Every structure is written in structure tokens, then in C-alpha cells.
């Protein structure tokens, strides 16, 4: 989490997580739900909108824009690095 997004997660920028086993492969949609339930500490409306991230949150999967990877439908692979960067700044 970068660009201020980490403030919603107790200021912790990096989380190494092991996702629980489930019948279907994990995708970003399920990951976001898991993050909301397990890591997000405050003001979920600043991170999530519906089942996706809010506009202004850049999502990178292994340093590539998630739009190139299928966004919410991207199937997570072992050792994937998912980065959330807030581009929203107060003024």
C-alpha cells in the first residue's frame, strides 16, 4: 500500500499474506473482499467502492497495471505482488 493508502491499514505498507484454501482459484475480486475483512482497519469507503477499489486507487500486479491483467478477474498466482497506490491527495 502506497500513496497514503497504507494509512487505512494501520500505516503498514507491506503485508505478506497466505490466503486460505478454497475450491476455486483466488482472483482479485476475492482478494479485495478478503483484504476488506482482514486487513482494512478504517474508512473502507476510501479504499473500496462496491466490489472493486475506488477510483483513484492504482492497482499493480507484478509491476503491471491491472487493466492489462484482467482487473477483478485476474487469477492470482503463487508469489504475486499486488500493489495499491492512492493517487488521491487532499489540498
Share of the chain above pLDDT 90, in %: 78
DSSP H/E element including 29: helix 28-38
How many domains are contained in the chain? 1
pLDDT the model gives residue 91: 47
Instruction: Give tens-digit pLDDT for 45-55.
Output: 999 999 999 99
- State the residue range of the domain holding 71: 3-84
pLDDT tops 80 at residue 89:
no
Which residues, in sequence order, are bridge partners of residue 84?
A: 59
Instruction: Say which CATH number the domain at 35 has.
Output: 3.10.20.30
Residue 29 is predicted with a pLDDT of 96
Q: What is the pLDDT of residues 17-27, one digit of tens each?
A: 999 998 999 99
Average pLDDT over residues 51-66: 95
Is 68 among the domain residues? yes
- DSSP H or E run through 52: strand 52-53
Amino acid at each position: 500500500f502506497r500513496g497514503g493508502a497504507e494509512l487505512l491499514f494501520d500505516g503498514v505498507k507491506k503485508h505478506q499474506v497466505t490466503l486460505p484454501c478454497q475450491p476455486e482459484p483466488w482472483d482479485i475480486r476475492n482478494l479485495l473482499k478478503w483484504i476488506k475483512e482482514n486487513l482494512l482497519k478504517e474508512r473502507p469507503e476510501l479504499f473500496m467502492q462496491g466490489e472493486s477499489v475506488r477510483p483513484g486507487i492504482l492497482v499493480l500486479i507484478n509491476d503491471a497495471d491491472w487493466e492489462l491483467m484482467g482487473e477483478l478477474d485476474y487469477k492470482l498466482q503463487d508469489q504475486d505482488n499486488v500493489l495499491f497506490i492512492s493517487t488521491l491527495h487532499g489540498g
